[in-house]
Amino acid sequence: MESISPEDLALELLNQCLRGNDYSSELLETLLRLALSEDPSTATRASRALFRTVVETLADLFEPCLCDCYAALFSEAIAYAAPRYRKQDLLERYRRVRQPREYRDARDPSRVFVLSRVTLGADIAITSILLAAAMRRFPRSEIYFAGPEKNYELFRTGTRIRHMPAAYARDGALGGRLAVLPALQDAFSGPDTIVLDPDSRLTQLGLLPVCAEENYYFFESRAYGGYGNEPLSALTREWVRRTFGVEDAHPFLAPGSQAGREDITVSLGVGENPAKRIAGPFERDLISLFSAAGRGVLVDRGGSKEESDRVDAAVKGLANARTFTGSFSAFAAAIANSSFYCGYDSAGQHAAAASGIRLATIFAGAPCSRFAGRWKPEGRAESILISADALSPNNILSRIRQLL
């Protein structure tokens, strides 16, 4: 089994989970040995296979029964990587904290920590609702966003929200992804402190014990809502109502910085998932459609060379079209200043929804229909979800033309 590639090991592990919500501990241990290898290249490759193939797929299917499978598998992974923990102890704690419970203390805690989901779109669609609820429910508390700096930039202006830096290596080796735990435990150990966890990668989706159990409030976004297709923002809103008695908390943004104004904003980012984009001339045709309509267009160049090259090719020589280079928080401010947003399934759609901007999301490569339903952006303005898997590129363009 040692001669099998990490990618094939991870794929077989996933298939075992999907076939019967169970898996081979021997297979998992083989992959974990590679993920904890002293060779950085091997460790990163195996860790990437474990997270992208197994963990992210189990989460993206939004199957409640797979939450139990994930919890068993990753509790074993944590116990293997950090022997001070026992798989059974982690599992039993997880089963307790996943049960929603009402906050009953009449006093405001001294500090409230809201954990980042790490990805920008999820922090807008989900985490911002927890932040909004915390500010309303606890007017005398210090409210902290625990997560990366670039995510905190989305909420820092004109709010009470403070920042607790918590870096997470999304593409790093397993050991590095677990290394944030001691800092979190130290920060959350103070008296009169509570922690709100929106299914964060920082806790490996609720499995890592970052504070005393009675001070921990966990929103298990993968199972909440059962087998329905309600958007995650709506489910989060329901959870904060039940847990903290806060009605009508909604996603919000407070990025502050201004990046100019164009009538239409566009993002062609796919979060390193090529299945989300439409190949061929579609992106050029999309920007040409906006340009031909005489509308000013601002297209985010993204954070990778691959995306920047695609964007530059899509806008080259087109009237009224220009590109944006800068932080996502600055582009989110530009989205808020536009009248229409269009893009693939990415953070931009949630920024538009939170800002009350009309938007169209081109959804391709969704692993299941519930995934698309869960991640549909919710806001005060019209939000159209276009299934790219069911339509030809020309039909998608025709649908968008009707929205202009």
Query: Which of 3.30.70.20, 3.30.720.120, 3.40.50.970, 3.40.50.2000 is the CATH number of 111-244?
Result: 3.40.50.2000
pLDDT in tens, the chain (404 residues): 667 899 999 999 999 999 987 899 999 999 999 999 999 999 999 999 999 999 999 999 999 999 999 999 999 999 999 999 999 999 999 999 999 999 999 899 999 999 999 999 999 999 999 999 999 999 999 999 999 999 999 998 888 999 999 989 888 899 999 999 999 999 999 889 999 999 999 999 999 999 999 999 999 999 999 999 999 999 999 999 999 999 999 999 998 766 667 899 999 999 888 899 999 999 999 999 999 999 999 999 998 999 999 999 999 999 999 999 999 999 999 999 999 999 999 999 999 999 999 999 999 988 998 999 999 999 889 999 999 988 999 999 999 999 98
- Amino acid sitting at position 28: L
CA distance 292 to 306: 26
Distance in angstroms (rounded) separating the CA atoms of residues 243 and 233: 15
**Could you tell me the two tokens for 28?**
């998992």
Sequence ranges of the domains in the chain: 6-95, 111-244, 264-403
Helix (H) or strand (E) holding 354: helix 347-354
Q: Which residues pair with 114 in a beta bridge?
A: 145, 196
Q: Where are any strands of DSSP class E within 216-302?
A: 216-218, 264-267, 297-300
pTM (two decimals): 0.95
Q: Which two tokens stand for residue 164?
A: 């607790």
d(CA 369, CA 189): 41
- Please tell me if the domain spanning 111-244 has the same topology as the one spanning 264-403: yes
- CATH number of the domain located at residue range(s) 264-403 in this protein: 3.40.50.2000
CA distance 350 to 103: 28
> Rounded to whole angstroms, how far apart are CA atoms 402 and 404?
6
Separation between Cα atoms, residue 223 and residue 32, nearest integer Å: 26
